[in-house]
Amino acid sequence: MSVAEIFETMEYGPAPESAAPALEWLAQHSEGFGHFMGGAWTAPGTLFLTENPATGKVLAQISQGTEADIAVAVAAASAALPGWKALGGAGRAKFLYALARQIQKHSRLFAVLETLDNGKPIRETRDIDIPLVARHFYHHAGWATLLETECAGYEAVGVCGQIIPWNFPLLMLSWKIAPALAAGCTVVLKPADLTPLTALLFAEVCAEIGLPAGVVNIVTGDGSTGAALVAHPDVQKIAFTGSTEVGRLIRKATAGTGKKLSLELGGKSPFIVFEDADLDAAVEGVVDAIWFNQGEVCCAGSRLLVQESVEERFLQKLQRRMETLRVGDPLDKATDIGAIVAPIQLARIDELVKAGVDQGAMLFQPKAACPTTGSFYPPTLLTGVSPASVVVQEEIFGPVLVAMSFRTPAEAIALANNTPYGLAASLWSESINQCLEAAPKLKAGTIWINGTNLFDAAAGFGGYRESGFGREGGKEGLWEYLVSSPLAPVRVPREARLVGLGGRNLDQTAKLYIGGKQARPDSGYSRTVLSPTGESIGVVGDGNRKDIRNAVEAARAAAAGWGGASGHNRAQILYYLAENLSYRAAEFAARITQQTGQEGTDEVEQSIAQLFIWAAWADKNDGSVHRTIQKSVVLAMPEPLGVLGVACPREQPLLGLISVVAPAIALGNVVVAVPSEAHPLSATDFYQVLETSDVPGGVVNLITGERDVLIKTLAEHDDVDGIWYFGESAALVETASVGNLKRTWCPKPGTIPRQDAFLRAATQVKNIWIPYTDELPW
Ligand code: NAD
């Protein structure tokens, strides 16, 4: 083609990046890769192939990790743990810094290797993935340095098992390894079987910088290797990124083991365009939202919601823009959309799109043809879809956008939240008021205003609802790798001694407390409450599944009002509760004595103190503003989880209730609480205090009965957002929670968590990105 002709068509010329250095590196390992454990490489085992999805050609042979391999790697990580912890934050920071530097030095090799293995365009690996990887190690070198002061009282959780997907292979590795190492943990990481190469190059970098042996171990393999890692008893924490389906399996497998767990799962994120948006900017936003990384992005803006008044114009602009997207050789620097990771993923995308079309969707794809060899799929727009259709509900994980319209902002929010997922959302409007009004209403962990797919090491990232729990990045992410140290001992009442029962033997029948009203148990059965000497001292309702259902409904009805009330308002009510309880202190103390045989005055005093503490916190759990490398103000806003099911400790019937219910409601949650099974009368007395303290109906619901049966029902309930369980059968609760993957918190029996742990357990952080520019138009 002559220069004149090029000017005529303005076509891009080819601009290929050379694969030679990466292929040379691969050639050095032509006999196959082993695993990296204890600072050394194992001999290759049973091998499988990893291929270049753009060409279908084999790149390398990879070892399939076995249970025995996992055992060796975990042993190496366990052996390395004491030394790595003892190094201290400042000592570890030097290694994190060295990793960042070394990654930068090899950045082009990493970028090309990633593109070869995954199929994503070199422009993205070079300009986004690898720089962000280095950024994560730098940022966490900083956290390691500050750890001892910023996270005082906490220590490394131990050996971490980390499992990552294929869509951002090295970036996901850095999101996992950098915070773990900063915290003082050692790790065994399993990369995705489709994309293991950059993790193996990273292992070489660990050796190059002299990272102590066993601190980072890389074991390759498929799901069975991951399952062995999850099952290993010496792993104290599992960090998983991948599909919601596998996340559920891991939740079940770790239930009751005491392992810490974070799950970063799938998504179906809305991209909302209001009629006053800058439509051209929003079109570019859509390109980044769904055609970045071939749409293989967990937080891809895959559901476009456009205000009806601008829908036609917007879709026309979008279709015009789609015609200019270049699909092709990922190593070409002018390629926008590279190859789909593997033929199996390509087939899944194709199948879902066909199912959408069969259900009546209209399909638009640009005219330019895709390469016919390799796994390529064109950018695709589906319109005319209904909210229930398969392409609107299911994560496609490919370059496929579905579009719907809305009339009012309220309708946009309802459509946006009409998904079990909750990873991210983008809002486009020139009115910041409009955006800031919508952002808190969206059920998602990250909200981008007039932007999309922005990531940084300083800002936490993670899901609401079935997109998982836990955060990666920033201080929020650091907590995932820390445990409180030493554990706070259980506080025993100052005057713990058996005392006389004071002649009090009032036999009364207490009801359940649902929606602000006393309610008879549905079962029609009651439970007798006994004194320590075995006499009947009262009767409480025996709650069942239906009572729980009613209580959850009442709680849900109260959730928006209570969660949306100001912290100041909630504090007033908690102070009022404290005041009303103190009027009746003697009566409550006597009741404690009657049930437990222990002097009760101290427990009542501590309960009042707890109400004061949590009233104080109600308007002070502020969140923060993150400093990211992009020009954005990122508001990290703690939000209540919503409806919490709470099983109170057996001991200290009043304090056990108040010290868990008070933090939950102070931070805006509504609660269905199961009081102490053995000593429920303090709780049933307490509802009279609730009634007289302006606590709105439904904010606190009390269901007496068999604790583990009731909490299991709550854990299984799909409209409950979280469970706190203070008991011995964590497995029961964690297993039952898999339905909607609600967050569970099961502190070790016999310990009282710190206040900051309550603050984190009661909230989830939403990161709201608001862009700004230094280039003022005036
Ligand atoms: P996947 O769940 O199939 O696999 C993820 C990883 O888990 C792989 O390493 C795999 O080998 C391993 N694995 C599979 N079965 C396992 C088991 N039973 N036990 C332990 N490990 C097992 O997911 P994928 O197809 O590789 O990745 C795509 C998914 O990842 C999408 O759903 C996407 O949304 C999600 N994702 C989420 C995030 C996030 O931050 N939330 C980021 C990237 C990708």
* pLDDT score at 1: 64
- Which residue has a Cα nearest atom 8 of ligand 1? 192
Average pLDDT for 46-71: 98
Q: Which atom of ligand 1 is least distant from the CA of 298?
A: 34
Q: Which atom of ligand 1 is least distant from the CA of 230?
A: 20
**Which residues make beta-bridge pairs with 426?**
271, 448
- What percent of the chain stands above pLDDT 90? 92
Amino acid residing at 630: Q
pLDDT tens for 261-287 read 999 999 999 999 999 999 999 999 999
- Which residue has a Cα nearest atom 38 of ligand 1? 298
Q: Is residue 214's pLDDT more than 70? A: yes
* pLDDT score at 778: 59
- Which residue has a Cα nearest atom 35 of ligand 1? 242
Own/partner pairs, 283-287, CB within 8 angstroms, 24+ separation: 283/314, 283/317, 283/318, 283/321, 284/321, 285/426, 285/428, 285/450, 285/451, 285/452, 286/318, 286/321, 286/401, 287/321, 287/325, 287/336
Q: Name the residue of 265, 419, 480 whose CB sits within 8 Å of the most ligand 1 atoms, as the mutation to test its pocket.
A: 265
Residue located via tokens 């789609």: 322
Instruction: Report how far ligand 1's centroid is from the alpha carbon of 124 (Å).
Output: 21
Return the H-helix or E-strand segment holding 603. helix 601-617
Are 267 and 423 spatial neighbours (Cβ–Cβ below 8 Å)? yes
Q: Is residue 774's pLDDT more than 80? A: no
Beta strands (DSSP E) in 201-245 are 216-218, 237-241
Least confident of 38-52, 411-425, 487-501: 487-501
Q: Is the CB of 266 under 6 A from ligand 1?
A: yes
Instruction: Report how far ligand 1's centroid is from the alpha carbon of 169 (Å).
Output: 11
Are 262 and 468 spatial neighbours (Cβ–Cβ below 8 Å)? yes
* pLDDT score at 500: 45
* pLDDT score at 499: 47
pLDDT band at 369; cut points 50, 70, 90:
confident
Beta strands (DSSP E) in 706-771 are 722-725, 743-745, 763-771
pLDDT band at 498; cut points 50, 70, 90:
very low
pLDDT tens for 737-758 read 999 999 999 998 878 899 999 9
Instruction: Report how far ligand 1's centroid is from the alpha carbon of 612 (Å).
Output: 44
Average pLDDT for 561-584: 95
Q: What is the DSSP letter of 33?
A: B
Q: Is the CB of 166 under 6 A from ligand 1?
A: yes
Q: Is the CB of 230 under 6 A from ligand 1?
A: yes
Distance from C-alpha of 50 to C-alpha of 22, rounded to nearest angstrom? 14
Distance from C-alpha of 737 to C-alpha of 255, rounded to nearest angstrom? 9
Average pLDDT for 506-530: 89
Average pLDDT for 92-98: 96
In the structure encoding, which two tokens stand for residue 211, read together? Answer: 């990272």
Q: Is residue 497's pLDDT more than 90? A: no
Instruction: Report how far ligand 1's centroid is from the alpha carbon of 363 (Å).
Output: 29
Q: Is the CB of 300 under 6 A from ligand 1?
A: no
- Which residue has a Cα nearest atom 12 of ligand 1? 223
pLDDT band at 14; cut points 50, 70, 90:
confident
Q: Is the CB of 192 under 6 A from ligand 1?
A: yes
In the structure encoding, which two tokens stand for residue 746, read together? Answer: 């099961």
Instruction: Report how far ligand 1's centroid is from the alpha carbon of 333 (Å).
Output: 28
CA distances for 451 relative to 484, 638, 758, angstroms: 37, 21, 33
Q: Is the CB of 249 under 6 A from ligand 1?
A: yes
- Which residue has a Cα nearest atom 41 of ligand 1? 264
- Which residue has a Cα nearest atom 13 of ligand 1? 223
Q: Name the residue of 174, 246, 252, 303 whose CB sits within 8 Å of the most ligand 1 atoms, as the mutation to test its pocket.
A: 246
Q: Is residue 124's pLDDT more than 90? A: yes
Q: Which atom of ligand 1 is least distant from the CA of 221?
A: 11
Q: Is the CB of 228 under 6 A from ligand 1?
A: no
Instruction: Report how far ligand 1's centroid is from the alpha carbon of 521 (Å).
Output: 44
- What percent of the chain stands above pLDDT 70? 97
Q: Is the CB of 65 under 6 A from ligand 1?
A: no
Whether 51 sits among the annotated catalytic residues: the reply is: no
- Which residue has a Cα nearest atom 22 of ligand 1? 223
Q: Is the CB of 267 under 6 A from ligand 1?
A: yes
Instruction: Report how far ligand 1's centroid is from the alpha carbon of 264 (Å).
Output: 9
pLDDT band at 135; cut points 50, 70, 90:
very high
Q: Is the CB of 167 under 6 A from ligand 1?
A: yes
Are 597 and 567 spatial neighbours (Cβ–Cβ below 8 Å)? no
- Which residue among 151, 160, 298, 648 is the active-site one? 298
pLDDT band at 195; cut points 50, 70, 90:
very high
For 178, phi and psi rounded to 5 degrees? -60, -50
Q: Is residue 46's pLDDT more than 60? A: yes
Are 457 and 132 spatial neighbours (Cβ–Cβ below 8 Å)? yes
Instruction: Report how far ligand 1's centroid is from the alpha carbon of 164 (Å).
Output: 6
Whether 264 sits among the annotated catalytic residues: the reply is: yes
SS3 of residue 256 by DSSP: coil
Work out the mean pLDDT of the chain and round it to a whole number. 94
Q: Which atom of ligand 1 is least distant from the CA of 423?
A: 41
Average pLDDT for 444-473: 97
- Which residue has a Cα nearest atom 42 of ligand 1? 298
Q: Which atom of ligand 1 is least distant from the CA of 175?
A: 40
Q: Is the CB of 466 under 6 A from ligand 1?
A: no
pLDDT tens for 292-324 read 999 999 999 999 999 999 999 999 999 999 999
CA distances for 193 relative to 163, 164, 223, 658, angstroms: 11, 10, 8, 49
Average pLDDT for 590-602: 95
Instruction: Report how far ligand 1's centroid is from the alpha carbon of 265 (Å).
Output: 7
* pLDDT score at 776: 66
Are 80 and 215 spatial neighbours (Cβ–Cβ below 8 Å)? yes
DSSP string, 40-78: EEPPP-SEEEEE-TTT--EEEEEE---HHHHHHHHHHHH
Q: Is residue 490's pLDDT more than 70? A: no
Spatial CA neighbour of 33 closest among 192, 200, 206: 200
Average pLDDT for 578-584: 95
* pLDDT score at 496: 41
* pLDDT score at 601: 96
Average pLDDT for 117-131: 98
The alpha carbon of residue 715 and the mean position of all alpha carbons in its chain are separated, in whole angstroms, by 18
Q: Is the CB of 223 under 6 A from ligand 1?
A: yes
- Which residue among 51, 155, 264, 716 is the active-site one? 264
* pLDDT score at 775: 73
